[in-house]
Amino acid sequence: MKEIIAVIRMNKTNDTKKALIKAGAAGFTAFKVMGRGKLVNDESIIMERKNRLLKLAGDEEADTEVLIDGFLTGERLFPRRLFTVLAKDEDVKGIVDAIIAANRTENNVGDGKIFVLPVMDAIRVRTGETGETAV
């Protein structure tokens, strides 16, 4: 039995929920979280992102460029969604593949991370069942 933890973009939440259901995940939990990944060192990607974000923001706020620079330099955190899924060993690959398919973009950065961890036991509170039958 494994726990799959996926940290994804907020705008991919619905796609991920649908993908997990279609992949046969027994259930899952989602949390709103804040974080950042590895900083991008490619100046062309950084400038392209900055220009795109500035264009989206328009002239609404004077501090917009400062905020965007903070995101791009790692000083600020991005809102993300964290999914946690318990799965039987034989179901892990299908679930991970579904998460990847739902979240991969052409942005070259920020598509998320997936972690797969062993689970020692699970207990269904209602019935007391343990192990894979509790999942």
> pLDDT of 16-54, one tens digit each?
999 999 999 989 999 999 988 777 677 777 777 777 777
Mean pLDDT of 90-109: 92
CATH code of domain 1-36+78-135: 3.30.70.120
What is the Cα–Cα distance from 18 to 131, expressed in whole angstroms?
A: 26
CA atoms within 13 A on the CB side of 108: 10
Whole-model pTM: value is 0.78
Determine phi and psi for 24, rounding to 5 degrees.
Answer: 90, 20
Lowest mean per-residue pLDDT among 11-20, 37-46, 73-82, 106-115: 37-46
